[in-house]
Structure 1
Amino acid sequence: MSVVIVVTGAAVRLTSSGLGCPTWPRCTADTLAPTKAMGIHGVIEFGNRMLTYVLCAAVGAAIIAARCARPWRRSLTRLGWAQFWIVMSNAVIGGITVLTGLNPYTVAVHLLSSMALIWVALVMWERSGEGDGAPEPAVSRPLAQLSYLLVAVVGCLVVAGTVVTGAGKHSGDSSEVPRIPLDYDRVSQFHADFAFIAVGLALAMVFVLRAVKAPTAARARARDLLVVLLAQGVVGFVQFFAGSPEILVGAHLLGSALVWIAALRIPLALRVRPQLPDSAYAGTAPAPDTEGTPDTPDTEGSEGSSGLVATA
């Protein structure tokens, strides 16, 4: 659902439905839902808003599953609540985006917040199949640092893509919408430069992991990233020279989410977390939540810029 919400958000912009509901949180000043006079654009924008509730339901199911698991693992519950608060904050950012008339900078922040949600969701997914012991490196420290660098470059690639979007022609609405005042061809080249660096690092990661006989899962994930990056590069180049047709722009945004996931999965395969004995969980079952105060993300063990990757 974290990926789906990125794709449907792209569909809103690419169909010029970004202001289909011209205000927020209601669709109009007088109605919660779009009116017949608002046409298909109102339906598309309102439909994307409703998908937020589906996403919340998925996050809620993850939180409940984590709370009900035995033994109870606080780290998983915290990651679930982290997703919930990211979804809530991104809903507010989406509202600000509408109220500011699709300001390209808030549109960029809206997308990057969705990428943060994908990050936390992936970490929770990975942690659900691991133990709660301290992370133990499966490769040398320089190789782990190379994986962090690769994630950072892919992150810069995604950020550069939002700048290209903000300077491009798909503003999200048929009316006059301000764009980022940068030359589209130049920022596209800047974006492509990061893509070349990412491909080079991914290729290096594939060969290095093979040379040091790293775990099979890590080598497979490095190959996955290289394949997804190359496919994304082909879509990006065709999109640029074809004049950015809507279908290719949408495919490129889907590819961005998949590249981000593929990059994040590599560092997570370069360490192991052993299972703790059942006695370590004794007395840790959660007490009834009478105040409604959610857990917060567990950042214990993070190192510098590695963020949630190191936490995992």
Structure 2
Amino acid sequence: MPKTLNPLQLVADRWQPSARFVRRAALATVVMAVVIVVTGGAVRLTQSGLGCPTWPTCTEDSLTPTPAMGINGVIEFTNRMLTYVLCAVVGVAIVAARAHLPRRQGLTRLGWIQFWIIAANGIIGGITVLTGLNPYIVAAHFLASTALLTVAVVMWHRSHEGDEEPRDLVARPVRQLGWVLVATTALLIVAGTVVTGSGRHAGDAKKNVHRIPLDWHQITQLHVDFVFVVVGLTAALWFVLRAVGAPAVPRRRVAELFVVLMLQGVIGYVQYFNDSPEIVVGTHMFGSCLVWIAVLRVSLSLRTRGEAPALPAPAAEAATALAAAGR
């Protein structure tokens, strides 16, 4: 009975990417996950949420925007097309992780999780358009993008370490404090989506878009309260790590998070006291991605899985031969 051909195995038989390439491919998925968040925000902030009034086509009769739709149609359609770029980047990361020797199934699995999140979020994005920018669906769309960013960051981090069972670098209570920091930051992000759903940037100026029936000033205050809690937890974790003599890397990650939080706080105050200008809101969305990345890196730095596996000797010789043959 003929052996079933596996395209990924065919690639792996002919190409063994370096560990550096795998790490860079994983980093590229993080970058693209941030790009898709920021460009999605640009769609809303330019009032282009319904630039393409239907889905999956742009209009009932056209796959692409028509000249009559103006710049709003171009902006919304461009954001849709970036999803395919994101899929391509994730695809490269999956293939690289699969072809790398020694095989690391955990990395490949994280790549496929990203792919399925993208597919699911594409459907959520379509529902967002078909429901006329329902704020609850818009919030779900953003949170799914945050989930994608989460998996991308984990894959990037895992590409730098081994596949041993996780081992804590600090005492369990300190590790738990790190998880509390992650959970509180997640609540901060959720509160931010409620601010967005009840705030002034509805996403389309031509239609009376439904908003979450809450006073956005009060929700913003709740959002700020979560910011203070996150900053307090960050400072507490830094002092605790110093007190217990934790390794340098976790302490550095916490310091990086604190700096990002301070910068994001400045942007947030400028946004609030200037009636949320579009460019500042977009910068704030970019900052929220950086905050989430920094928080995840803090948590991941509190444990280790050992060193990244080295390339086996026979595989190294094969890779060298392939490289020589390709010259």
Write the letter of the residue equivalent to 2:247. Answer: P
Answering whether residue 170 of structure 2 is matched by residue 152 of structure 1, we say no
| Contact 2:97–2:107 under 8 Å retained in 1 | yes
Answering whether residue 284 of structure 2 is matched by residue 252 of structure 1, we say yes
How far has the Cα of 1:204 moved from its partner? 0.8
The CA RMSD measured in Å over matched residues stands at: 1.6
Structure 2 distance, partners of 1:279, 1:15, is 49
Structure 1 distance, partners of 2:161, 2:110, is 14
Higher helix proportion: 2
Can you list the C-alpha shifts for 1:160-204, whole angstroms capped at 9, x where unaligned?
Answer: 000000000100000210100001111010111000000000111
The one of 36, 39, 62 equivalent to 2:93 is 62
Structure 2 distance, partners of 1:249, 1:52, is 22
How far has the Cα of 1:154 moved from its partner? 0.4
User: 1:91 aligns to what?
Assistant: 122
| Contact 2:162–2:309 under 8 Å retained in 1 | no
The one of 106, 125, 136 equivalent to 2:137 is 106
The one of 245, 268, 274 equivalent to 2:300 is 268
User: Structure 1: where are the runs of 5+ without partners?
Assistant: 281-312
- TM-score when normalising by structure 1: 0.88
The one of 265, 274, 289 equivalent to 1:233 is 265
How far has the Cα of 1:238 moved from its partner? 1.3
Structure 1 distance, partners of 2:309, 2:74, is 52
The one of 142, 156, 171 equivalent to 2:173 is 142
Name the SS for the 1:238 alignment partner. helix
How far has the Cα of 1:228 moved from its partner? 0.8
Distance 1:235 1:276, change over 3 A: closer
| Contact 2:159–2:308 under 8 Å retained in 1 | no
How far has the Cα of 1:214 moved from its partner? 1.1
Distance 1:277 1:44, change over 3 A: closer
Structure 1 distance, partners of 2:210, 2:103, is 50
Higher radius of gyration, 1 or 2? 2
Name the SS for the 1:200 alignment partner. helix
Structure 1 distance, partners of 2:33, 2:186, is 17
User: 1:186 aligns to what?
Assistant: 218
Answering whether residue 241 of structure 2 is matched by residue 209 of structure 1, we say yes
| Contact 1:136–1:272 under 8 Å retained in 2 | yes
Taking the TM superposition and a 5 Å limit, the aligned residue runs for 1:107-126 are: 107-126=138-157
Can you list the C-alpha shifts for 1:59-81, whole angstroms capped at 9, x where unaligned?
Answer: 00000001101011111110000
User: 1:24 aligns to what?
Assistant: 55
Structure 2 distance, partners of 1:226, 1:143, is 17
Structure 1 distance, partners of 2:234, 2:304, is 21
Structure 2 distance, partners of 1:9, 1:149, is 29
| Contact 2:101–2:311 under 8 Å retained in 1 | no
User: 1:15 aligns to what?
Assistant: 46
- The 4+ residue runs of structure 1 with deviation greater than 3 A are 275-280
Write the letter of the residue equivalent to 2:42. Answer: A
| Contact 1:133–1:276 under 8 Å retained in 2 | no
How far has the Cα of 1:274 moved from its partner? 2.1
Answering whether residue 243 of structure 2 is matched by residue 195 of structure 1, we say no
Write the letter of the residue equivalent to 2:122. Answer: A
Taking the TM superposition and a 5 Å limit, the aligned residue runs for 1:298-309 are: none
User: Structure 2: where are the runs of 5+ without partners?
Assistant: 1-31, 313-327
